[in-house]
């Protein structure tokens, strides 16, 4: 797997070099983009890697992955997990030296620029946190389809950027992970709702609340599953009362509940692995986006069978019906949209509604790239026995 990424690096570099020259193509018509693609072949789409070969406990904050503050041109976004992997990642230069190729043989996490290929993201979250392969694919290809650039095969973990290359035609957004209303959504734990400000940056008031809930509901003042259940409930109640534009429905409901559980697993040192996140480690991940000193990842890959019962546990404590506000404190339930427990319904909603809205009628190489990524996404949900969705035909 590492070998493959070395071989692909020069190709990737060529694409990156090509981008500034064509940056002004952003926002052209389908015809013009087709021309562009015809003249400048689609970036290759490496398939996602398989499961890790060595998938056990491992020191991940090691000397070959030093924490470095992001520079002014490095993009960071709403995900503390991915921001951390970029802050401990590789500085990608346009012309890698031989030693950098060698370096790439080690687990490189993410490019510090914050712009990456989806297969790199899958590798990074497996290597850095020990996400299971199918779970990593599910998160990554969902994100790439709705926030990434299928033509250049690049996605920003932060805001929209010319670094992901010329865009496919509107209504495609290619907004990066910070794009509100796609993957990013309301009721985040440590960020404000987009209605109130930038939802991609850490908010101290929010983190104080995270801490207070941990002190009140968690074992020994830690963020554990009980603290997670109460905080998740309170974040929704708060937004219902204050955010006139709150939206809390598929697919956001699934990410909101998963992300409430993640810190109790992935942010806890794998040698302890007791579901109890202490607040110093929590701050380290959420604010500077830094692995705690000497941090070990999970002792075994963590996937749907671990995550889903925990999100169910949160739901059972405080059930809800998906919906949206029509003005503050006026939550309109949308019982016909997929419920949190309806995994295949949410998969279908991502593909047939969210994606299709951005790509109503793709053709040519753009269509091919979308189909390829849709197949990668489906490969992640097969274990759930979902029926494959074909928004653009088979």
Q: Are 297 and 269 in contact (CB under 8 A)?
A: no
Pairing of strands 155-156, 115-116: antiparallel
Nearer to ligand HEM, 117 or 191 (CB): 191
97 is a site residue for ligand NAG (CB under 6 A):
no
Question: Which structure tokens are listed for 103?
Answer: 């370096």
Q: How far is CA 52 from CA 4, 47, 93, 122, 387, in A?
A: 14, 15, 26, 10, 27
Q: Taking the mean position of all CA atoms in its chain, how far away is CA 165?
A: 20
197 is a site residue for ligand NAG (CB under 6 A):
yes
* Residue numbers 206-245 binding ligand NAG by CB under 6 A: 206, 219-220
- As a dihedral over the C-alpha atoms of residue 351, residue 356, residue 359, residue 360, rounded to 10 degrees, the angle is 150
List alpha helices for 110-150, DSSP H: 118-129, 133-147
* Residue numbers 320-349 binding ligand HEM by CB under 6 A: none
- Report, in Å, the least distance between residue 229 CB and ligand HEM: 15
Q: Choose the one of ligand NAG, ligand HEM, none that binds residue 121, judging by a C-beta under 5 to 8 angstroms depending on kind.
A: ligand HEM
Q: How many CB atoms lie within 10 A of CB 287?
A: 15
332 is a site residue for ligand NAG (CB under 6 A):
yes
Question: Which structure tokens are listed for 90?
Answer: 């590789």
Task: Compose the 216-255 pattern: x for residues touching ligand HEM by CB under 6 A, - for all others.
Answer: ---------------------------------------x
Whole-number Å distance between alpha carbons of 142 and 239: 25
Q: Which residue shows structure tokens 């905080």?
A: 231
- Report, in Å, the least distance between residue 53 CB and ligand NAG: 26
Q: Choose the one of ligand NAG, ligand HEM, none that binds residue 205, judging by a C-beta under 5 to 8 angstroms depending on kind.
A: ligand NAG
Which position among 192, 194, 282, 370 is part of the footprint of ligand NAG (CB under 6 A)? 192
Task: Compose the 307-326 pattern: x for residues touching ligand NAG by CB under 6 A, - for all others.
Answer: -------------------x
Q: Which residue shows structure tokens 């006026």?
A: 330
385 is a site residue for ligand NAG (CB under 6 A):
yes
- As a dihedral over the C-alpha atoms of residue 108, residue 113, residue 116, residue 121, rounded to 10 degrees, the angle is 50
**Window of 130-138, 191-199, 295-303, 359-367 that interacts with ligand NAG by CB under 6 A:** 191-199
- For residue 130, which phi and psi values (nearest 5 degrees)? 65, 45
Which position among 10, 244, 384, 390 is part of the footprint of ligand NAG (CB under 6 A)? 384
Residue 333 forms beta bridges with which residues?
A: 323
* Cα-Cα-Cα-Cα dihedral sign, residues 13, 79, 87, 302: negative
Whole-number Å distance between alpha carbons of 290 and 330: 39
* Residue numbers 186-205 binding ligand HEM by CB under 6 A: 188-191
Nearer to ligand NAG, 109 or 138 (CB): 138
Whole-number Å distance between alpha carbons of 14 and 316: 50
Q: Choose the one of ligand NAG, ligand HEM, none that binds residue 266, judging by a C-beta under 5 to 8 angstroms depending on kind.
A: ligand HEM
Which position among 205, 280, 361, 394 is part of the footprint of ligand NAG (CB under 6 A)? 205
Q: Choose the one of ligand NAG, ligand HEM, none that binds residue 333, judging by a C-beta under 5 to 8 angstroms depending on kind.
A: none
Q: What 3-state class would DSSP assign to 159?
A: coil
Contact residues toward ligand HEM (CB under 6 A) are: 78-82, 121, 125, 129, 131, 136, 139-140, 143, 177, 183-185, 188-191, 255, 259, 262-263, 266
Residues that bind ligand NAG in the complex, under the rule CB under 6 A: 32, 35-36, 39, 192, 196-197, 203, 205-206, 219-220, 326-327, 332, 384-385
């Amino acid at each position: 797997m590492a070998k493959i990424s070395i071989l692909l690096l020069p190709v990737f570099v060529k694409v990156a070099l090509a981008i500034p020259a064509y940056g002004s193509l952003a926002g052209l018509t389908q015809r013009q983009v087709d021309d562009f693609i015809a003249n400048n072949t689609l970036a290759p789409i490496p398939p996602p890697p398989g499961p890790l070969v060595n998938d056990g406990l491992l020191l991940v904050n090691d000397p070959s992955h030093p924490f470095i503050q992001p520079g002014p041109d490095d993009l960071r976004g709403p995900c503390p997990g991915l921001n951390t992997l970029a802050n401990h990642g590789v500085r990608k230069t346009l012309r890698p030296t031989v030693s950098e190729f060698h370096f790439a043989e080690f687990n490189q996490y993410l490019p510090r620029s914050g712009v990456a290929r989806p297969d790199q993201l899958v590798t990074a979250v497996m290597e850095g946190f020990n996400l299971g392969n199918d779970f990593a694919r599910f998160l990554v290809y969902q994100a790439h389809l709705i926030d990434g650039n299928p033509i250049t095969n690049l996605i920003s973990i932060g805001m929209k950027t010319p670094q992901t290359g010329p865009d496919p035609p509107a209504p495609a957004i290619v907004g990066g992970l910070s794009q509100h209303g796609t993957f990013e959504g309301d009721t985040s734990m440590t960020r404000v709702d987009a209605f109130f400000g930038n939802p991609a940056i850490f908010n101290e008031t929010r983190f104080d609340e995270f801490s207070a809930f941990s002190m009140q509901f968690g074992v020994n003042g830690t963020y554990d599953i009980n603290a997670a259940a109460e905080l998740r409930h309170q974040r929704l109640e708060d937004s219902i009362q204050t955010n006139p534009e709150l939206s809390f429905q598929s697919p956001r409901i699934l990410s909101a509940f998963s992300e409430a559980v993640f810190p109790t697993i992935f942010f806890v040192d794998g040698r302890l692995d007791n579901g109890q996140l202490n607040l110093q480690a929590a701050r380290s991940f959420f604010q500077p986006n830094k692995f705690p000193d000497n941090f070990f990842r999970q002792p075994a890959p963590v996937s749907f069978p671990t995550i889903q019962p925990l999100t169910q546990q949160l739901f059972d404590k405080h059930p809800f019906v998906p919906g949206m506000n029509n003005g503050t404190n006026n939550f309109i339930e949308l019982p016909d949209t997929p419920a949190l427990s309806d995994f295949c319904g949410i998969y279908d909603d991502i593909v047939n509604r969210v994606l299709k809205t951005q790509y109503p009628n793709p053709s040519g190489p753009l269509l091919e790239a979308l189909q390829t990524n849709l197949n990668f996404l489906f490969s992640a949900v097969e274990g759930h026995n979902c029926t494959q969705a074909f928004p653009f035909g088979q």
